[in-house]
Chain A
Amino acid sequence: MAEIQLTSVEAFDGLLKPVGDVRPAGVRVRERSTLALATVMVRKGRRADLANRFSDAFGCALPDAGRRTEGNDLAFVSTGPGAWLACREHGGYEFSESLAETLSGLASVTDQSDAFAVLSLSGPRVKAVLAKGVFLDLGDAAFPEGHAAATQCGHVGVTLWRRPADEAGDPVYEVAMFRSYAESFWHWLSTSAAEYGLTVERAG
């Protein structure tokens, strides 16, 4: 049997490019291609046990609805009752395996690294761009760092969360979507950000 060679291709491969006047750009976009992802769904009646296992293993609380928490080198985003999206930088496929082991008996873990595409969106005008596609109040009071939501952006289903501000002091949001929506999402993003200028930062 011939050996199968698989090449890793980013979801936004060939799509992301600068848009509008970028001197300076109002929005910066970066594909978070090195993020390993997994969904975590609690087993019936085991939420309290899961919360304990979480704090023991990761040193962080299980996030409540609409929240994201970070622990050690990973993060958890609430996506609905009893459901979370787990993220680890450079976690690879081993991430979901080790997570499933850690949460064994308390939650079901499914690898989603190749199912979702994640974009980091930042810059001085990022809120103005997101306001064109998201029906949520993303202001600092209503949606500060650590807040998250399962919602829509440009009619694409997304999980959205806010990170700490970047070095320039600009707000940072990350948006996860099914990777087959990458082209549709880029169509919305490139059109919506054109008036502010958009630059592409190297994936990672």
Chain B
Amino acid sequence: MLLLECPYCGKRAESEFHCGGEAHIARPETPAELDDQAWAEYLYYRTNPKGLHAERWQHRHGCGRWFNALRDTVSDKVVETYKMGEPRPDASNANIPDPAKVRSA
């Protein structure tokens, strides 16, 4: 059984959770002013890194809250979970490439 740490409830079985895709993607302030490419990038383009990935997760069958998790897409290890609104934790010592740098490479 995989355990995920809900920031509110503590460690729970993975089956109580639901993944909501990549985290920290801000909705554009003025969607009407975007061209199709920029809108498509907001909707569909994701970093898809091999390594640490910040994701939105919901404790659907528990407290119901959304939170963020840093997960290693290679090992499936969840390095850290943190509350919505908190910045992505510094994972510089996790020895895994930063998705932002992966994207620009």
Would you list which residues of chain A between 126 and 169 have a CB under 8 Å from chain B?
A: 135-136, 149-152, 157
Across the interface, do B9 and A150 meet the contact criterion of CB distance under 8 Å? Answer: yes
* Complex contacts, A83 vs chain B, CB 8 Å: 63
**0 or 1 for each of B11-34: is its CB under 8 Å from A? (1 = yes):** 011011000000000000000000
Partner of B63, one of A135, A136, A150, A152: A150
* Complex contacts, A80 vs chain B, CB 8 Å: 8-9, 62-65
Which secondary structure dominates chain B's binding surface? loop
* Complex contacts, B12 vs chain A, CB 8 Å: 135-136, 151
A81: Cβ under 8 A from any B Cβ: yes
A65 to B15, CA, bound (A): 20
B85: Cβ under 8 A from any A Cβ: no
- Tally of B interface residues using CB under 8 Å: 13
Across the interface, do A65 and B1 meet the contact criterion of CB distance under 8 Å? Answer: no
Nearest chain B CB to A181's CB is how many angstroms away? 12
Nearest chain B CB to A54's CB is how many angstroms away? 19
Across the interface, do B16 and A151 meet the contact criterion of CB distance under 8 Å? Answer: yes
* Complex contacts, B10 vs chain A, CB 8 Å: 65-66
Across the interface, do A150 and B62 meet the contact criterion of CB distance under 8 Å? Answer: yes
B61: Cβ under 8 A from any A Cβ: yes
Would you list which residues of chain B between 27 and 71 have a CB under 8 Å from chain A?
A: 61-65
Partner of A152, one of B8, B9, B15, B64: B15
Across the interface, do B62 and A81 meet the contact criterion of CB distance under 8 Å? Answer: no
Would you list which residues of chain A between 41 and 71 have a CB under 8 Å from chain B?
A: 65-66
* Complex contacts, A149 vs chain B, CB 8 Å: 9, 62
A135 to B12, CA, bound (A): 7
Nearest chain B CB to A98's CB is how many angstroms away? 27
| Contact A81 to B63, CB < 8 A, known contacts A65-B9, A66-B10 | yes
Closest to B62 in A: A150
| Contact A135 to B64, CB < 8 A, known contacts A66-B10, A81-B8 | no
Nearest chain A CB to B15's CB is how many angstroms away? 7
* Complex contacts, A152 vs chain B, CB 8 Å: 15-16, 61
* Complex contacts, B8 vs chain A, CB 8 Å: 65, 80-81
A113: Cβ under 8 A from any B Cβ: no
Closest to A150 in B: B62
A136 to B3, CA, bound (A): 11
| Contact A135 to B15, CB < 8 A, known contacts A65-B8, A80-B8, A150-B9 | yes
* Complex contacts, A151 vs chain B, CB 8 Å: 12, 16, 61-62
